Amino acid sequence: MTGATKWFWRYRYQAGRWKKARDVITKIELTDKGRNPRFVVTTLTSGDTKLYGEDYCVKGDMENRIKD
């Protein structure tokens, strides 16, 4: 396999202590090394791919750079 294959799903989830359900975006990436699942809980309504890739990943990258 070359490259990676990615799938995105959005579904509602309510943890035991949460007062209401929230959206969860799941990204599953399949690479030569295996599966790489990621989960984001959100109240934002953008498209799944945009929200995950352009908002949360960028924010996480900036937070990691602050640690450097």
pLDDT score for 44? 76
4-47: pLDDT as tens digits: 888 888 999 999 999 999 999 898 999 888 998 888 888 877 77
pLDDT score for 40? 86
To the question of pTM greater than 0.75 for the whole model, the response is no
Q: Is 66 exposed, middle or buried (0-12, 13-18, 19+ CB in 10 A)?
A: exposed
Overall number of domains in the chain: 1
Q: Is 52 exposed, middle or buried (0-12, 13-18, 19+ CB in 10 A)?
A: buried
Residue 12: domain span:
5-67
